[in-house]
Structure 1
Amino acid sequence: MTLGTLLPLCFVSEIFVVGDRPLPGWLATVADVFPLRHLLQAVLTATDPAVDGTGVAAGHLGILLVWTAPALVLLWLRRSAPT
């Protein structure tokens, strides 16, 4: 189940670059909803030698925080639930 969702999301998020044409607009919009594309862009910005300063991509890290906070709350609630 994990690979069935992760691999398509990787292709949509352009983790695996296929070809030299950009994604269709609607597919890029779908990819922008998920955190994987933002993680990729944050890492690429931070490691780009042409970027001045720290290379922190605040917008991309903000999206990652928006996904991480509810995930941690859900994890905490699930862990504290009686079994």
Structure 2
Amino acid sequence: MKSRLTVTFVLLVIIGGMVTAVLAQTPPPPTYLPLVMRPLPTPTFTPTPTPSPTPTPTATPPGQMVEMRGFVGDTL
């Protein structure tokens, strides 16, 4: 029983050493520090002209249809 535990322990140590050797050969991940330290370009903001507001319709008696014009987002 003791020899079986010894063999298992030795195999685990060998496998662990192999995994460590493989991981040591992989290149480290790239560092993103130069990208963060670089100043960001300032965006140029061009304001869009705001369309003139359309007059709101006056109150109508109940039951009468009202034509709606000038919705927000209309490009006409």
TM-score, length-scaled by structure 2: 0.26
Greater radius of gyration (CA): 2
More contact order relative to length (CA 8 Å, sep ≥ 6): 1
Instruction: Name the structure with the higher helix share.
Output: 1
